[in-house]
Every structure is written in structure tokens, then in C-alpha cells.
């Protein structure tokens, strides 16, 4: 049991996975001596050597493409994409190769690899450093997509993703990297693909993942002060979605507000809203609402606070749901 940041949780999780399985190798830009631009891999090259913590050339298609080859040879590569907006050069390999290789071989081969992606905005960065592109990959059959929101999940989920025989995109909420939380390294971890009810309530359900979980928990605190008792669900897995947990909550509260940084159009919220109207039609007291980024290219950082969902926009949506 200890207190650590999300970044340190991932670092410890990577270390544990590498100690357990010599086939686990890390690949990415600047992940060696520097420890990555967010220091998530800090100290790992020193302890595991340059053959297992590989500083790659600066080419994302190359990183993912060679990681595929390593996986075909029996390794379990864990790839770091430096920023969300830099994953697109590797898009072809992820969508056309990683996702489809097993089906192409009729199950003869597997491709166990993890692609780590720092995700989301709120850090005052220049263009391409603040994007939320999880829906592209959640849309693609053959991939699993997960997103941690706290240190304990960071520690466990990265290990579970590495142990998965299926390829996993592992999103890390970059603006929360330095948020601290308790991590019990001896406890039994939660299931990787299950959502978690992280605050129980009765008035409405807030559904979030990654960086927006904290925002929703803060919104629930504020609402509680006004006598509104909100339930908050951390999805944790975006593909597959644990709709059972979400639907059970919405059947109880009758109202749902889905919150993510990504633009709402054809986003995770759209999928969840569609599923909820199908599964909870007679339980719904109000339309399912979404709070997300506007449907624009990510704006300059001076405007990102206006663009991103925050506590007030979440509460505004909750009020609209309750007033319906």
C-alpha cells in the first residue's frame, strides 16, 4: 500500500510486468535515458537495458510496425506514442494490421501488444498535444481500448493490458499524470474490462472515463451540496464497453449524462446513448445527454478551458436532465 501518482503507477506496473515476463519490451521515442517526455518509463532502461527499453527512431508507423514484428516473434511490446496527436502516422498499422492480423490468420497467430497514449487536453500545449482520439480505435474491431483515471487502476490496468493476448490501446489522462492516489499492490485488481461505480447516487448517472472522472466526481460533490445525489461511473474500458454496469445504474437513476473530452459527434457518448435508449427505454426519465468537446479541431490553448467540459458544464447538463 502506498500513495503514488498515476505516472508512477504506470511506471511501477510496467516494472512489475517486465520483471514477471522477459518477453515484455518497451518501445518509443525518448523512453530510455529521458524516461519519456512524461517520465512514465523513468529508470526502466537503466534497470532492464537497452534491448528491453528501446529508444526508437522518430517515426510512429515504424514504432508500431516493428512492434508488430516483435510480437510475431513472441515478444510482448509495449509501445509509447509520445502524444495523442502523433498517433496518426501509425494509424494504418493499428487499424489495418494490429486489429486484423488474428482474423487474417484464422486464429493461428495472436498479436499481444499494448499501445500507450497520453490523452486529452488541459495542459496548455501547442496543437496536436491535447487530442482525444479514442473513438477512432474503439470503432475498430480487433482492438481493445482502455483508459485509466487513477493511480490504482494505472498500476493494475497496464499490467492486465500487457497480459492480454489481444492488442490493447491504453489511454493515459496526461493532465492527471501527477494526481496522487492510494495503490494497494497486494490487493486483487479489478477486472480490466469492467466499469466501476466510483460514487453511488440516485438522482442521475454521470458516465465518464480518463480525465473526466475527476471532473465528474467534483461535480457530484458540488451537486451533493445542493441536495442532488449523483452516481458516477468510470467506464475504464471503452472497447468493449461494460454496458451492464452503466445500464444497471441508469435503470436505478433514470437519467444519464455522458462526459468526455472528445468531440461529441460519433463519439463514445453517442454509442452509449444509443445503447441506453435500447436497453433502458422504459426506465429513462429524460433524454440521455452528452457533454464533450465541441465539434471543432482542438482550439489554441488559450481557449481550451472553454472547449473542454468542466464542472459547470457537467452540472448544467445534470440540471437539464433533472428538469426534463
Partner 1 sequence: MSDNAVAGATSVEHEDEVLAELTAPVPEVGDGGPEMVQLLTPEGQRVENTEYDEYVKDLTDEDLRGFYRDLVLIRRVDAEATALQRQGELGIWASLLGQEAAQVGSGRAMRPQDYAFPTYREHGVAWCRGVNPLNLLGLFRGVNHGGWDPNEKNFHLYTIVIGAQTLHATGYAMGIQRDGDVGTGDDERDAAVIAYFGDGATAQGDVNESFVYAAVNNAPVVFFCQNNQWAISEPNERQTRIPLYQRARGFGFPGVRVDGNDVLAVYAVTQQALNAARSGNGPTFIEAYTYRMGAHTTSDDPTKYRVSAEVEVWKHRDPIERLKSYLVHTQKADQEFFDAIEVEADALAVTVREGCLSMPDPTPDSMFDHIYVEEHPVVEAERREFAAYHAGFEGEGSH
Q: Are strands 168-173 and 144-147 parallel, antiparallel or unpaired?
A: parallel
* Cell numbers placing 75: 515478444
Quote the CA–CA distance of 305 and 214 in Å, as a whole number: 16
> How many Cα atoms occupy the beta-carbon half-sphere of 82 within 13 Å?
21
Of 193, 44, 50, 210, which is closest to residue 117 (Cα–Cα)? 210
Q: What is the DSSP string of 248-314?
A: HHHHHHS-EEEEEEEESTTSHHHHHHHHHHHHSGGG-SS--EEEEE-SSSPPPGGGHHHHS--HHHH
**Annotated catalytic residue, options 93, 129, 139, 283:** 129
- The interface region with partner 1, picked from 158-166, 171-179, 285-293, 307-315 by CB under 8 A, is 158-166
- The interface region with partner 1, picked from 108-116, 204-212, 250-258, 313-321 by CB under 8 A, is 108-116
| Residue 129 annotated to the active site | yes
- The interface region with partner 1, picked from 13-21, 39-47, 60-68, 209-217 by CB under 8 A, is 60-68
Q: Residue 24 interacts with partner 1 (CB under 8 A)?
A: no
Q: Residue 227 interacts with partner 1 (CB under 8 A)?
A: no
Query: Of these, 48, 75, 177, 307, which contacts partner 1 (CB under 8 A)?
Result: 75
Quote the CA–CA distance of 166 and 283 in Å, as a whole number: 35
* Cell numbers placing 20: 514477471
Nearest-approach distance from CB 113 to partner 1, in angstroms:
10
Nearest-approach distance from CB 118 to partner 1, in angstroms:
22
Nearest-approach distance from CB 122 to partner 1, in angstroms:
31
| Residues forming the site for partner 1 (CB under 8 A) | 25, 51, 56-57, 59, 61-62, 64-75, 77, 89, 92-93, 96-97, 100-110, 112, 141-142, 144, 164-166, 239-240
The set of catalytic residues is 129
Amino acid at each position: 500500500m502506498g500513495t503514488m501518482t498515476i505516472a508512477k503507477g504506470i511506471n511501477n506496473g510496467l516494472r512489475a510486468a517486465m520483471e514477471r515476463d522477459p518477453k515484455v519490451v518497451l518501445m518509443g521515442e525518448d523512453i530510455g535515458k529521458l524516461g519519456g517526455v512524461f517520465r512514465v518509463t523513468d529508470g526502466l532502461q537503466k534497470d532492464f537495458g537497452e534491448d528491453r527499453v528501446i529508444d526508437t527512431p522518430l517515426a510512429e508507423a515504424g514504432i508500431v510496425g516493428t512492434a508488430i514484428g516483435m510480437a510475431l516473434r513472441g515478444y510482448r511490446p509495449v509501445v509509447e506514442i509520445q502524444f495523442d496527436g502523433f498517433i496518426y502516422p501509425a494509424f494504418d498499422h493499428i487499424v489495418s494490421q494490429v486489429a486484423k492480423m488474428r482474423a487474417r490468420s484464422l486464429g493461428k497467430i495472436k498479436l499481444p501488444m499494448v499501445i500507450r497514449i497520453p490523452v486529452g487536453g488541459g495542459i496548455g500545449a501547442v496543437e496536436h498535444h491535447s487530442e482525444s482520439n479514442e473513438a477512432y480505435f474503439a470503432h475498430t474491431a480487433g482492438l481493445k481500448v482502455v483508459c485509466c483515471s487513477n493511480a490504482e487502476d494505472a498500476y493494475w490496468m497496464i499490467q492486465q493490458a500487457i497480459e492480454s493476448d489481444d492488442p490493447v490501446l491504453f489511454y493515459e489522462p496526461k493532465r492527471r499524470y501527477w494526481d496522487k492516489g492510494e495503490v494497494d499492490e497486494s490487493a486483487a485488481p479489478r477486472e480490466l474490462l469492467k466499469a466501476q461505480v466510483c460514487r453511488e447516487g440516485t438522482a442521475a448517472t454521470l458516465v465518464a472515463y480518463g480525465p473526466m472522472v475527476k471532473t465528474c466526481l467534483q461535480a457530484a460533490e458540488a451537486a451533493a451540496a445542493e441536495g442532488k445525489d449523483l452516481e458516477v461511473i468510470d467506464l475504464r474500458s471503452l472497447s468493449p464497453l461494460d454496458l451492464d454496469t452503466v445500464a444497471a445504474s441508469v435503470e436505478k437513476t433514470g437519467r444519464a449524462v455522458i462526459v468526455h473530452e472528445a468531440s461529441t459527434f460519433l463519439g463514445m457518448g453517442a454509442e452509449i446513448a444509443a445503447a441506453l435508449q435500447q436497453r433502458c427505454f422504459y426506465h429513462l426519465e429524460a433524454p440521455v445527454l452528452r457533454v464533450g468537446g465541441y465539434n471543432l479541431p482542438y482550439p489554441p490553448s488559450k481557449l481550451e478551458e472553454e472547449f473542454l467540459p468542466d464542472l459547470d458544464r457537467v452540472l448544467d447538463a445534470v440540471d437539464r436532465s433533472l428538469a426534463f
